[in-house]
Structure 1
């Protein structure tokens, strides 16, 4: 659509979630890097807004979800500010003019300025990718719909621990009206 103002939201593509062997590695995340990068390059080439939504937790666990607290404190800490693991993977590092939004819950909308910023720039169509189904991707998409944003999920730029988990979530997202497309399908629509 000619009057559509797209915004790309890349979720949790941080070293601790993406790199093999990292403390909270999502099995499918690393493989999506080329697709996420091509999507990011497309947005950059069009000078469209990009939001890097990242997760951060205090090292003492005081702001982590109750369901993750025990493992975080007793097994492995991850996404702690100031650590290399908390950084966005090098292939997707933000450039000047791109936004970085910090969350400490699954949804990129919960207790963040994301909705305010999207409305301020006039975004009318969100394109969401990153890691992982069913947690941060799904809750961010559901909250986007609840806030009144149409959403496109680029499926091969989005990861899960297994292909089965991804497929189940894609089915659910389609059932609430989310457009779920491959990167190729998305790019061909322009």
Structure 2
């Protein structure tokens, strides 16, 4: 029998006479962690972490947000906790997905309504426009363009070869992307969410994940926003009230430390 499928958990075995569709279930890998509104036990064998928009245009002092006058200090705070958490999750076989905003160079995936959000008067530097200047590493980079400096992971965070990259170009990473197909091929049912802005792209992606039936857990110290504090408070409230659970990287790491040998 020849294996046919992109991942071990979603694979047929085939030969000329037979197609074996039985998918062996993965061995459960429970992890207990403190969370709100209740403590949680998740199965690492069916878990992935989605890191959203931790990229230069949002988080670098040379990027687009900084150029238009936004203080990017808050959205750099997830870097350190992610540096500690991601290697431990990878070591347990948890897939890491980088969900970065990445427009097509011709902007044919962007509607006028989306362009208007970031360039409401038609003036200034909006999606796909080049950043001005000549001295910074961002000079001439087109805002949030796929495969460019603008869409690259911010310094301080490093993707490993086995990590998975998905480009998005909406506030939610599930719209018009391959994210859902990838997660289902990986056999994932539980999603850890991190990144920026927590009240916008992170929240909308988490909401859509909840609507699609995934278990959703926001890792609060691995998420941040440049919005006013009440936006963060409302996001945490709504995640706990309607869409899932909130935990911290320390709680997850403590769960990993307390595993039985």
TM-score (norm 2): 0.67
Q: Which of the numbers 200, 207, 217 marks the counterpart of 1:152?
A: 217
CA–CA separation in structure 2 for the residues paired with 1:155 and 1:103: 22
CA–CA separation in structure 2 for the residues paired with 1:179 and 1:51: 19
Which residue of the partner structure matches residue 169 of structure 1?
235
Aligned residues of 2:192 and 2:217 also touching (Cα < 8 A): yes
Q: How much does 1:66 deviate?
A: 4.0
Q: 1:169 to 1:67 in 2, by over 3 A?
A: farther
CA–CA separation in structure 2 for the residues paired with 1:118 and 1:63: 22
Q: How much does 1:29 deviate?
A: 0.9
Superposed CA RMSD: 2.1
CA–CA separation in structure 2 for the residues paired with 1:33 and 1:126: 19
Aligned residues of 1:36 and 1:157 also touching (Cα < 8 A): yes
Q: How much does 1:188 deviate?
A: 2.1
CA–CA separation in structure 2 for the residues paired with 1:38 and 1:56: 26
Q: Quick check: 1:50 aligned with 2:77?
A: no
Farther-moved stretch of structure 1 (158-167 vs 101-110):
158-167
Flag the structure with more relative contact order, 1 or 2, with Cα contacts below 8 A and sequence separation at least 6: 1
Which residue of the partner structure matches residue 193 of structure 2?
128
Unpaired segments ≥5 residues, structure 1: none
Larger radius of gyration: 2
Which residue of the partner structure matches residue 143 of structure 1?
208
The aligned length equals 190
Which residue of the partner structure matches residue 33 of structure 1?
79
Aligned residues of 2:55 and 2:150 also touching (Cα < 8 A): yes
Q: Quick check: 1:6 aligned with 2:47?
A: yes
CA–CA separation in structure 1 for the residues paired with 2:116 and 2:232: 22
Farther-moved stretch of structure 1 (72-81 vs 151-160):
72-81
Q: How much does 1:148 deviate?
A: 0.4
TM-score (norm 1): 0.89
Q: How much does 1:59 deviate?
A: 5.0
Q: How much does 1:73 deviate?
A: 6.0
